[in-house]
């Protein structure tokens, strides 16, 4: 039985062309890019060619791209690096309540070191209100970090507008965006956005795992990530992960060349999936913004059941999806993103995220919706949470108002 993979927001399969580019580096091209002899020079050339491709994907210059071990590492570097360099100017940082944990947990770690963090609220679609950001800015604000697109519910934030608000207040405030989910799926142009720092990752764009990058606008105050050697222009020591860098470069090139078609394909499949689910499955709701969302993201709430049951049902039916709530037991917290949009915990547990990939077909979606429809019927028949004994009785009346698009 062919498995259907609908968790492309978690990771994507490595493109054949990417793999082909990586193999020679792992075998013949093993030289250390920092070495002066031929093998080293060739490796160094391969790294710089890849840097150029990654830069072009986001309209940056090659010297503004710094390779990291992951998107999470890039996020950590952005927040900790700026906090370290600007702490004498101020200790106030602004982020949102729906960020990836790589940003949220870093912000929390900085709070323990004496930084003051404001977590902006979001509306029921997961959208940050520019007015809220404006009102949160203070004289001691040094950094703002707002994601470009949400990994769970797919909402795309108004980054360009948010940057303008920050820079109007004080050009010295650094603006970082976690664009891990956005890059390669929607157009991302650092010059147009005006951001100072932007995080990205290789394995979300059909490249290898364990490689990411941080775009650093020239002149941005940021401490070095790892001391030791001259790699990454003295900012992140350690022998370069040449093969993965080359793979990331190739994936970036393909993403840039295919962007329009890729986005169009994802959007068509996503819209078809959303329409089928909402039509065929009662008490199902779309989460995230109805239109300003990632082209490949379809995220839902199904009332009266738990996300974990849905995932296991899909898995048995040959389908890989994910749940906003990592709930293996009632004690584990539901998704912080869904709670931030105002969903009560009881309902947030019934979440499902299906993310479309390059190879997803209409047949895949038909199969998925069939499995989902039957599975949810079965789960609801067994569920103690039904309309007569709802989890939060008044919640369902409210829910209809907010989450039915």
Which residues are the active-site residues?
327
Is 345:334 a contact under the CB 8 Å cutoff? Answer: yes
Cα 61 from Cα 105, distance rounded (Å): 30
Count the alpha carbons within 13 Å of 403 in the hemisphere toward its beta carbon. 27
Name 36's Cβ contacts closer than 8 Å, sequence gap at least 6. Answer: none
Tokens matching residue 281: 């499955």
Q: Do 13 and 209 form a contact (C-beta atoms < 8 A)?
A: no
* Beta strands at 4-5 and 319-320: parallel, antiparallel or unpaired: parallel
**Spacing of C-alpha 150 from chain mean position:** 6
| 35 φ, ψ (degrees, to nearest 5) | -85, 155
Q: Are 222 and 142 in contact (CB under 8 A)?
A: no
Burial 339-365 (b: 16+ CB within 10 A, else e): bbbbbbbbbbbbbbbbbbbbebeeebb
Taking every pair of Cα atoms in the chain, the longest distance, rounded to a whole number of angstroms, is 75
């Amino acid at each position: 039985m062919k498995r259907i993979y609908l968790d492309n927001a978690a990771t994507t399969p490595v493109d054949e062309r990417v793999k082909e580019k990586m193999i020679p580096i792992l075998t013949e091209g093993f030289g250390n890019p920092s070495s002066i002899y031929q093998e080293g020079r060739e490796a160094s050339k391969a790294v710089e060619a890849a840097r150029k491709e990654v830069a072009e994907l986001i309209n940056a210059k090659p010297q503004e791209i710094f390779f990291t071990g992951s998107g999470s590492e890039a996020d950590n570097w952005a927040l900790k690096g700026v906090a370290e360099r600007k702490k004498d100017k101020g200790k106030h940082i602004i982020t949102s309540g729906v960020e990836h944990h790589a940003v949220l947990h870093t912000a929390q770690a900085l709070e323990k070191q004496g930084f003051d963090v404001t977590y902006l609220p979001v509306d029921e679609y997961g959208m940050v209100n520019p007015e809220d950001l404006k009102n949160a800015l203070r004289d001691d604000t040094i950094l703002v970090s707002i994601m470009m697109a949400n990994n769970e519910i797919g909402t795309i934030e108004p980054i360009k507008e948010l940057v303008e608000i920050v820079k109007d207040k004080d050009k010295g405030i650094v603006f970082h965006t976690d664009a891990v989910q956005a890059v390669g799926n929607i157009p991302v142009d650092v010059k147009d956005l005006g951001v100072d720092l932007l995080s990205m990752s290789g394995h979300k764009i059909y490249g290898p795992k364990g490689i990411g990058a941080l775009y650093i606008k020239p002149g941005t105050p940021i401490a070095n990530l790892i001391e030791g050697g001259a790699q990454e222009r003295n900012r992140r020591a350690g022998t370069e992960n040449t093969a993965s860098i080359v793979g990331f470069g190739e994936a970036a090139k393909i993403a840039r060349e295919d962007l329009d078609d890729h986005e169009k394909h994802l959007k068509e499949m996503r819209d078809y999936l959303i329409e089928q689910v909402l039509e065929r499955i009662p008490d199902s709701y779309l989460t995230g913004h109805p239109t300003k969302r990632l082209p490949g993201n379809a995220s839902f709430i199904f009332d009266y059941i738990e996300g974990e049951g849905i995932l296991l049902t899909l898995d048995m039916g040959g389908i890989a999806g994910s749940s906003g709530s990592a709930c293996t037991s009632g004690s584990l917290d539901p998704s912080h993103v869904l709670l931030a949009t105002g969903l009560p915990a009881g309902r947030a547990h019934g979440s499902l995220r299906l993310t479309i990939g390059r190879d997803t077909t209409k047949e895949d979606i038909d199969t998925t919706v069939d499995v989902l429809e039957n599975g949810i019927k079965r789960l609801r028949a067994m569920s103690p949470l039904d309309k007569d004994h709802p989890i939060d009785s008044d919640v369902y009346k409210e829910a209809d108002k907010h989450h039915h698009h």
